[in-house]
Structure 1
């Protein structure tokens, strides 16, 4: 029986992987820093250890005897203290990969991000780049962490696969569904430049289809961009979210005005001892212009996205309606 160990198992992607693996009859183990997140994963039948990716002993207990490690644990906020990002995203990856290699794990999947290409990437940028992590601490540490993981790829031992997801959405997605939904309801969400920036969405089940294909073909030493293969305007993507919030439209202003309003709001909220829930760093993610290529995943893995945006958003809306009852 296949045994998979998942770091960050109680998070949005890790939890869905746990569910999918259990459906296949696999044994699922996991590691999560949050006791609450750990309980979510236990509820779907996983054995979970509460601990840090920087704790070698906790990692060993998680990965020992596993065939596959799916490393999702990371700091995923748009901005924050450099020390935290480097400790978790880079050194955490090094620790998890080191322990996994010594434990005899056969396949190690490093969940990276399309943000390794930066914000101003060319149309249909491929896995060969160009890369640009210098403009944002999240982008930078995701790029460095996948390079750390690749150091452990060994054709005679543990094979390392890097997956670069697009903007992962689905029920439970914090950055692309839950946080925007909350901000829209509170009248605090606006789109820069007419909402013409793009979201390169990937439904979480499409992403995991790509991961399973990469594992099946054992394409060690390779990186793959996995998205739905389309660049959807922010106005269209978040229009679906606005409908869930009971709104007809989302305000939009020129980017300089949006940044100025955020700066003013941050200062005002701080005066009252609160943190403004939007940021200039997050707004930059709404100003990307181009599509990422999934040609390599299609050619090498046979990947084809099966969940369309309309269907994915309809399912999310249905989930919200059930939660209200």
Structure 2
């Protein structure tokens, strides 16, 4: 598929992944529109020249309106945090996803790309796990609802009329990434950040532009009905990543704590924030996310999509550093 002049709808267009997808789609001379529940975040995309509908993906009327005249939908909108109510996650991550997909199908959209997560494999999985799985919700609402959404979307796949593509993104970092850049740096500056144990598990990082490249490759190749793991293809330990992040920001190397101690510290911190009615900045479940053991395989994406991550960790950190020089991190967390 030739992308030039194609109409693309990006859900969550004012968020980290959505906004960068919009920027690079505009560079490809695509007609970009978006859907965003927050008017303030919508302005970021509108300033790029994108047409944005303010609405929620769970609202059928808004979803139907957004999908009119669209060739491609890239669905990035989600609830992404370490823990919480399964009902809350399911409303957006499952019901919202099904709602926007059905609206897209009804409107004649040909390609629907779902940005899922490699966290569908849970926290303990085999080395170099492929798209064949096994999948595991691991009693975590984020993992569980991403699995549920994937299953529902594959049932709607019916090319050439309506083709779904699932991209299981690794740990997406780069300018604007809250979990892997902004929040750790804020905690490092406050001398509150520690990685768990010996930090020898693997962070499956993917630089934001590498992920967006994979999105466009999947659309161009019309890989309907397929699922792909997308990472930078590097085996970087948690210790290496967070040490690199600290160095990039001119901060001392972070220290480590045993996994159980770190969980206890975060639990007490969370309870204290609740007591004083402050919004929690990090949940104890974050430790599970930061202690995953192995790399995911990206061989399928390499073979079928000709995906080859161009930006490695060193270059990704350099680009992030340039952004960091002109950014107030606290404003990002509070926005």
Task: Using structure 2 for the length normalisation, give the TM-score.
Answer: 0.94
Matches within 5 A, 1:25-40: 25-40=29-44
Q: 1:53 aligns with which of 38, 57, 60?
A: 57
**1:109 is aligned to 2:119:** no
Whole-angstrom distance in 2 between the partners of 1:56 and 1:273: 34
**1:289 is aligned to 2:266:** no
Whole-angstrom distance in 1 between the partners of 2:32 and 2:279: 37
Higher mean alpha-carbon deviation, 151-160 vs 47-56, is at: 151-160
Higher mean alpha-carbon deviation, 131-140 vs 273-282, is at: 273-282
Q: Give the match's secondary structure for 1:322.
A: coil
Whole-angstrom distance in 1 between the partners of 2:9 and 2:280: 36
Q: Which residue of 2 aligns with 1:234?
A: 238
Higher mean alpha-carbon deviation, 44-53 vs 54-63, is at: 54-63
Q: Which residue of 2 aligns with 1:11?
A: 15
Whole-angstrom distance in 2 between the partners of 1:228 and 1:256: 29
Q: 1:89 aligns with which of 88, 93, 104?
A: 93
Query: How far apart are 1:152 and its partner, in Å?
Result: 1.1
Q: 1:267 aligns with which of 247, 262, 271?
A: 271
Structure 2 gap ranges (5+): 329-335
Q: Give the match's secondary structure for 2:278.
A: coil
Whole-angstrom distance in 1 between the partners of 2:171 and 2:250: 23
Whole-angstrom distance in 2 between the partners of 1:276 and 1:75: 15
Whole-angstrom distance in 1 between the partners of 2:312 and 2:186: 24
Whole-angstrom distance in 2 between the partners of 1:270 and 1:18: 36
**Structure 1: which 4+ aligned runs deviate by more than 3 Å?**
268-273
Q: Which residue of 2 aligns with 1:184?
A: 188
Whole-angstrom distance in 2 between the partners of 1:270 and 1:214: 43
Task: Using structure 1 for the length normalisation, give the TM-score.
Answer: 0.96
CA contact (8 A) 1:185 1:245 kept: no
Q: Which residue of 2 aligns with 1:322?
A: 326
Q: Which residue of 2 aligns with 1:163?
A: 167
**1:150 is aligned to 2:150:** no
CA contact (8 A) 1:181 1:244 kept: no
Whole-angstrom distance in 2 between the partners of 1:222 and 1:141: 19
Q: Give the match's secondary structure for 2:326.
A: helix
Q: CA RMSD in A?
A: 1.3
Distance 1:195 1:110, change over 3 A: same
| CA deviations over 1:146-184 (Å, ceiling 9, x no partner) | 111111111241110001011011100111101111111
CA contact (8 A) 1:225 1:294 kept: yes
Q: What is the total number of aligned residue pairs between the two structures? A: 324
Structure 1 gap ranges (5+): none
Distance 1:288 1:93, change over 3 A: same
